[in-house]
Amino acid sequence: PIYSSQGGTQVQHLNSGISGTIASLSIAVPTERVSSSGWQSSRSFLFVDEDNIRSWNVHAVHQAGNYVSQWLKRRALPWSPRFRLHGGWANVNAPGTANEKHAHDGYVAVCSLCNSSLSALVQCRSGNDGRRPIAHAHEEVTVSGVYYIDAPASTPIRFHDPRPCSAYSQLFHFFQVGADAVLPPSTSQFIFFPSFVPHEVVEHRGNRSRISLSVNYIVDLCGSPLELDF
């Protein structure tokens, strides 16, 4: 159920501009999430009214559409996916930082940019040490993804089988390779996955920060062409 694809030159040229926006924001605003020992923006980052981010959203939803369309085709379903952007944020992991095992819940927040209601991401509840998230899954979101603006050292992302005790079964593993699936990403790569799947990023061993964007979509199945709502 994991989809991986290179963004290509059309999206690669956006990396520098988005990276600059993230760099400025990370200096001005402290991290807003507790599931990472690195820096993470607010959950409304992908709603920012900038050309680079708007263009990235268009590329991202088409990649997500390819992912969902593959599964609809396998099941011979005639529907087309309609995507609603539920929220998205930027991640900066300096060497030595990590993103602990988590999934993403959904809630409605107010955009700090325009004061309108928008769908965003709920902050993980902290554990005993104030940094470890309690395991949880998406309530409303259907598809989640990550895009790597800069992925030095290919520090992997690890996906965990969401079913309890699945590691004890040799017949019914959620992933074909076993209970976990480990992907070493590269710069300008998209990875999409079902929103309920727990995942983590191991300690970053690169010599510079790993920068990425995370995104969540609500997917409605309908008879109309591929669409994206903000």
Query: For residues 49 and 17, what is the distance between their CA atoms, to the nearest angstrom?
Result: 13
Residue 114 CA: distances (Å) to CA of 6, 23, 45, 176? 33, 22, 12, 44
In the numeric block, the tokens 């062409």 are attached to 225
Q: Which two tokens stand for residue 60?
A: 């991202």
Strand 157-160 to strand 180-183: parallel, antiparallel, or no bridges (unpaired)?
Answer: antiparallel
pLDDT of the chain, 230 residues: tens digit per residue? 789 999 889 899 999 999 999 999 998 887 665 555 789 999 899 999 999 999 999 999 999 999 998 888 888 878 888 899 999 999 998 888 877 777 665 443 333 444 433 333 333 333 334 333 334 444 578 899 999 999 987 788 988 877 666 555 555 445 454 567 888 999 999 999 988 888 888 888 888 999 999 999 998 877 655 555 55
In contact, 199 and 158? CB cutoff 8 Å: yes
Under 8 Å CB-to-CB from 146, ≥6 apart: which residues?
157, 185, 190, 191, 212, 213, 214, 215
